[in-house]
Structure 1
Amino acid sequence: MRLHRNLVYTTIDSLNAIFNDGEYADKVVARALKKDKRWGSHDRKFVAETIYEIVRWKRLYSEIADVKEPFDRDDLWRVFAVWAVLRGYPIPDWRQLEGTPERKIKGRFDELSKNRVFRESIPDWMDEVGVQELGEAVWSKEIAAQNQPAKVILRVNTLKTTKEKLRAILMDLDIETDYLKDQPDALVLKERANVFLTDAFKEGFFEVQDANSQLVAAFLDVKPGMRVVDTCAGAGGKTLHLASLMENKGQLIAMDLYESKLKQLKLRAKRNGAFNIEYKIIDSTKVIKKLQEKADRVLIDAPCSGLGVLKRNPDAKWKLQPEFIDNIRKVQAEVLESYSRIVKPGGKLVYATCSVLPSENQEQVKHFLTTENGKNFTFVKDAKILASESGFDGFYMALLERKA
């Protein structure tokens, strides 16, 4: 087990882009993995996992290294040295790593690990919000679970294949998967693999989608032939799942504020063989008004803090600001009030977020039901899913029915 200079240099460059230039970790990692065509799977795995680990543990590692932002290159090397020592790598005799104080690093790690904000490597404000909303015991478990690397989960595209057939196809490529209990369309990878390079992906046999994210479309109780509206479709993970549950029958309207996201969805839909989707950019209030009381089912996958998906997006810990959460709560209340008008009498609505904060979830629904428009709805059921209990992403979903 030794460190290779070109892999480490790429890691340092990538950390500089994330921490100092404000780039998103997933984009930086994708770019880094294309840097050298000669790299094998172990090399790419080292680069991707090391970048994500150092991003995830930034506060802890920089405190141990005694460096503060903005990090210069020497600072980044010191942070990297902390990672290497704690991961058990022998420190090579490179100029940048000279004098790495290995015993001191281990001692500081033991000392700082007694304090949750360092142990879980989170900003103080996030820790305060978590304790305030979930309580000390639940928050401690939840943030620890959010620091575990995310598993790769596939959602089988039932428009094109079955779970059993896809599992066999992947097995032939030495990609082993397991079934998930109570998840009819999910396969979990036993080991990480670049599934996007497979013909099965290119032919639209599956999408990569977290296990708990796959519960949202099913919660909406769609049937073939219905008119269904996904109001915050984005790049369309849940839209595509709805299309497969509808068996391509009926009308599925995917809406978003951003045309670029709907363009991505169109490409994915083509690959998936999902052809019952219409695309609408929300460029004025007229778009909503035209659909008023017209839909059997409406999904509001609302914008949120993303505090349920930190294991997947560890850099969000450093990009999120407390004022963003205050603002997003107002946006959630507005979209719930506005988009719920699309549901026809007797129709159903799901409000969902990938947050674990009650103020973004059950409290939003509770407030909505007291509004003039909300009084037209009855609460059917909800699901509060914590990463610490499920092992996957944190999610919330509430099912409401419009009175006939």
Structure 2
Amino acid sequence: MKLHNNTIRGVHTALAAIFEEGQYADKVIERTLKSNPKWGARDRSFIAETTYEMVRWWRLINFLSPSKEPYDLFGTYWLMQGHSLPPWEEFAKINPDKIKEKYDKLEDPAKLESVPDWLFDLGKKELGDKWEAEIHSLNQEAQVVLRVNTLKITREQLKNRLAEDNIHTHIIKGYPDALILDERTNVFRHPAFKEGMFEVQDASSQLVAQALAVEPGMRVIDACAGAGGKSLHIAALMQNKGKVLSMDVEEWKLQQTKLRARRDGVSIIER
């Protein structure tokens, strides 16, 4: 795969916003892509996937990298993925053999799985021998899961509409509002998303609202609403009848809830 300076800089800009400013990765990537409309589909995919993977392996990358400079960090990650580096001046400080030697000698499982020591120790304490397999599984790339907004469309209708644009999905048992993408793609650009017909929401997160067994006309408090994913799901299950009070300590998150509710056709959420 050929590397380009502008896309590497895009990754660096996103990582700086995530780690230095404490912003959410998904929002950073969405904003980064919107601010660079001339990037093609391949560039957008590269930036999004690379940023997420570097976030996932950030501790290990920093341990193996010869410095904290952006190109050293990116180059270390790129070598970890099994690629070779082009003979650029920016990568001059990176010695692939030294990075491989350092990795081969590494025995600390927390660093190998790129998680904080406290988290690894807690997992080991709680799960015992099952923990290492669990944390290894958690480090695999997650599937993209959609939650159908049943206020506007049925799951089968959305499945068919996306298929018309070669976005193929499948249903999983036990998740009545979920569709899983067969292949990763930028669904945020699809008209169905802009029309509020679905949200991107992890399957397990979707079970939370289902477990409440809410009914139309109820008054429900979401005391840790964040950007509103569960509040929106609750409102849909209530058929947009009743009240949902969304609360969070961060006002900017609740502003996202307001914007998403407008797109989804939800009018019963109060902040």
What pairs with 1:3-402 in structure 2 (closer than 5 Å)?
Answer: 3-67=3-67, 71=68, 73=69, 76-98=70-92, 100-112=94-106, 114-132=107-125, 134-249=126-241, 251-257=242-248, 258-275=250-267, 277-280=268-271
Amino acid of the structure 2 residue aligned with 1:124: D
Amino acid of the structure 2 residue aligned with 1:206: F
- Distance between the aligned counterparts of 2:37 and 2:173, measured in 1? 39
- Distance between the aligned counterparts of 1:145 and 1:138, measured in 2? 11
Can you list the C-alpha shifts for 1:257-276, whole angstroms capped at 9, x where unaligned? 4554444323322322233x
- Which gives a bigger RCO, structure 1 or 2 (Cα 8 Å, sep 6+)? 1
- Distance between the aligned counterparts of 1:148 and 1:35, measured in 2? 29
Larger displacement relative to structure 2 (236-245 or 212-221): 236-245
- Distance between the aligned counterparts of 1:255 and 1:15, measured in 2? 29
- Distance between the aligned counterparts of 2:2 and 2:265, measured in 1? 46
Amino acid of the structure 2 residue aligned with 1:218: Q
Q: 1:196 to 1:82 in 2, by over 3 A?
A: same
- Distance between the aligned counterparts of 2:118 and 2:225, measured in 1? 30
Amino acid of the structure 1 residue aligned with 2:243: L
Can you list the C-alpha shifts for 1:25-75, whole angstroms capped at 9, x where unaligned? 3343234323532211111111122122222212212222244xxx3x3xx
Of Structure 1 and Structure 2, the greater strand share is in 1
Q: Which runs of 4+ in 1 moved over 6 A?
A: none
- Distance between the aligned counterparts of 2:179 and 2:99, measured in 1? 40
Q: 1:243 to 1:29 in 2, by over 3 A?
A: closer
Amino acid of the structure 2 residue aligned with 1:228: V
Can you list the C-alpha shifts for 1:270-308, whole angstroms capped at 9, x where unaligned? 322233x1514xxxxxxxxxxxxxxxxxxxxxxxxxxxx
Give how far 1:11 is off.
Answer: 2.3
Q: 1:162 to 1:92 in 2, by over 3 A?
A: same
Contact 1:178–1:188 (CA under 8 A) maintained in structure 2: yes
Contact 2:162–2:168 (CA under 8 A) maintained in structure 1: yes
Partner secondary structure for residue 213 of structure 1: helix
Partner secondary structure for residue 219 of structure 1: helix
Structure (1 or 2) with the larger CA radius of gyration? 1
Partner secondary structure for residue 254 of structure 1: strand
Partner secondary structure for residue 155 of structure 1: strand
Amino acid of the structure 1 residue aligned with 2:246: M
Partner secondary structure for residue 80 of structure 1: helix
Of Structure 1 and Structure 2, the greater helix share is in 2
Give how far 1:20 is off.
Answer: 4.3
Partner secondary structure for residue 270 of structure 2: strand
Amino acid of the structure 2 residue aligned with 1:78: D
- Distance between the aligned counterparts of 1:108 and 1:102, measured in 2? 10
Report sequence identity in percent: 47
Counterpart for residue 2 of structure 1: 2
- Distance between the aligned counterparts of 1:12 and 1:268, measured in 2? 28
- Distance between the aligned counterparts of 1:214 and 1:160, measured in 2? 17
- Distance between the aligned counterparts of 2:245 and 2:16, measured in 1? 37
- Distance between the aligned counterparts of 1:147 and 1:228, measured in 2? 34
Amino acid of the structure 1 residue aligned with 2:47: V
Q: 1:179 to 1:40 in 2, by over 3 A?
A: same
